[in-house]
Amino acid sequence: MNNNIIGVSEKLPLRKTLPLSLQHLFAMVGATILVPLLTGINPTTALLTSGLGTLAYIICTRGKLPSYVGSSFAFITPMLSVTQMYGQDAVFGGIVICGIVYLIISIIIYKTGTNWIESVLPPVVVGSIVLVIGLGLAPTAIEWAGLSPNSHFEVIGKNKAIFISLLTLSVGIIGSVYFKGIFSVIPILCAIIVGYIASIAIGVISKEQLEIIANTPIFTNPIQPHKVVFNLNAIILMVPVAFVTLAEHIGHIYVANNVVGTNFIKDPGLDKSILGDGIAEIIAGLLGGAPNTTYGENIGVMAITKVYSVWVIAWAAILAILISFIGPLNAIIQFIPQPVIGGVSILLFGIIASSGFRIFVENNLDFGSKRNLIICSVIIVIGLGKTTINLNLFGSQFSLSGVALASIVGIIINLILPNKNKEKTNENSNLANAN
């Protein structure tokens, strides 16, 4: 593992920065283009808006918080419903309104401060939510890697898929531990390149796909004709999901806190972070891209490499923007085999989950305490048990599940159950002051 830590504000030479930025780009690109592919949005546009949104996020956080924003999985179900009932243009309107909701929340936090957040989201709640985020992504990684009964690779065959995913994972693990020099900070990029080359060698990437890459025009226009329609019913379906991604956002910030060793909640502030996420969302909606959210994959990359430079993230965003206009490079990225992404995701998603345990350890949480045990247990089971609550609001159906539902339940339990340890701490503090 690389022992040299590159700080958030540290600027490396471009020749060192670009490989690190490509690593972040490849780590997030599979999920970023998968969401638009599943929802009928142009993946090239999603790549462009992820880059623009990330730059907006960095500006809003004053270059103090290294985080990449990309397409959000949480919006897939409501996006499909809205497209079917009201058309895709209504989806873009819903995305813009979700971004405005983020802006409103950021203003509220700016006015009221973050002390209440620490009461609402203590380490036992945050650590449990982070565990759910990481472990909740685990089935996706396993399915992409071909290791799940639900994995289907009719064209390339499941055995080839498993070979590629395990090869990619192995290179990522070995590289993270044993690589030296520049390779020690780009093990994920190395793993993806090896997986890609092996995919070509054994036919996972077909000749037809290679011909498409070779024949793709040099320059393409990533922005497709579209309208932004504000449909009330569509907005009602999509806005609740903004609170899902808000819970994920806060969880990601706490993970970044622990990975980097900096309290980003206080500086640059959660209000700035949520503001950046909201503006990224609005940009995506206006340009016809997929809704954005902060990405755990990139936090995982930082945890492995110990390179926290916001300049590396910024250049990853710039590369995403440039690639969205360059046809062959765009095609190369779009043809990254799913098993390659699955292989690196096993490592990256696992690191996110492990960050939850790290929060428990660093805050010396006592699981002999029934209160902590109950809160953690309920959050994890609800979050990973595919628990779903269907609600009817103003005649429109929407559901709460996964991280969002687990977060809400955990927060409620935390506020209801008396914290005897906190009461004792306050009593001791009062006694000390009296003496």
276 within domain boundaries: yes
Q: Is the dihedral of CA 364, 369, 370, 371 positive or negative?
A: negative
Compute CA distances 193 → 88, 166, 235, 337, 349, whole Å: 35, 14, 41, 11, 19
The per-residue pLDDT for 286 is 97
401 within domain boundaries: no
The per-residue pLDDT for 428 is 47
pLDDT at 47 over 70: yes
CA distance 378 to 331: 44
* Predicted TM-score of the model (pTM): 0.75
Domain count, the chain: 1
- In this structure, what token pair is assigned to residue 405? 């539902």
- In this predicted model, what pLDDT tens digit does every residue of 74-97 receive, in sequence order? 787 678 878 988 999 999 999 999
* Share of residues in the chain with pLDDT > 90 (%): 43
425 within domain boundaries: no
- In this predicted model, what pLDDT tens digit does every residue of 403-426 receive, in sequence order? 778 888 998 999 999 887 665 544
220 within domain boundaries: yes
pLDDT at 433 over 60: no
**Coil, helix or strand at residue 419:** coil
pLDDT band at 396 (very low <50, low <70, confident <90, very high): low
CA 95 to centroid of chain Cα atoms? 17
User: Hey, which of 53-67, 148-162, 382-396, 412-426 has the most confident mean pLDDT?
Assistant: 53-67
Of residues 345, 347, 343, the one with CA closest to residue 163: 343
DSSP structure class, residue 185: G
- In this predicted model, what pLDDT tens digit does every residue of 190-211 receive, in sequence order? 898 999 999 999 999 989 999 9
- In this predicted model, what pLDDT tens digit does every residue of 329-378 receive, in sequence order? 888 878 889 899 889 889 878 887 887 888 888 788 999 999 999 999 99
Q: How far does the chain reach from its first CA to its final CA, in angstroms?
A: 50
Q: At what angle do helices 338-362 and 123-144 cross, to 10 degrees?
A: 160
- In this predicted model, what pLDDT tens digit does every residue of 7-29 receive, in sequence order? 999 999 999 999 999 989 888 87
422 or 123, which is more confident: 123
pLDDT, the chain, mean: 86
pLDDT at 432 over 80: no
The per-residue pLDDT for 202 is 93
Q: Which domain holds residue 75?
A: 14-120+152-355
**Coil, helix or strand at residue 293:** strand
- In this predicted model, what pLDDT tens digit does every residue of 215-253 receive, in sequence order? 999 998 998 889 999 998 888 878 877 876 787 788 788
CA distance 16 to 339: 28
The per-residue pLDDT for 243 is 75
138 within domain boundaries: no
135 within domain boundaries: no
319-331: average pLDDT: 90
276-302: average pLDDT: 91
Cis peptide before 36 (omega within 30 of 0): no
* Cβ-based neighbour number of residue 395 at 10 Å: 7
* Cβ-based neighbour number of residue 46 at 10 Å: 30
The per-residue pLDDT for 37 is 73
User: Hey, which of 2-11, 28-37, 64-73 has the most confident mean pLDDT?
Assistant: 64-73
94 within domain boundaries: yes
CA distance 263 to 37: 36
The per-residue pLDDT for 394 is 57
127 within domain boundaries: no
CA distance 141 to 383: 17
pLDDT at 285 over 60: yes
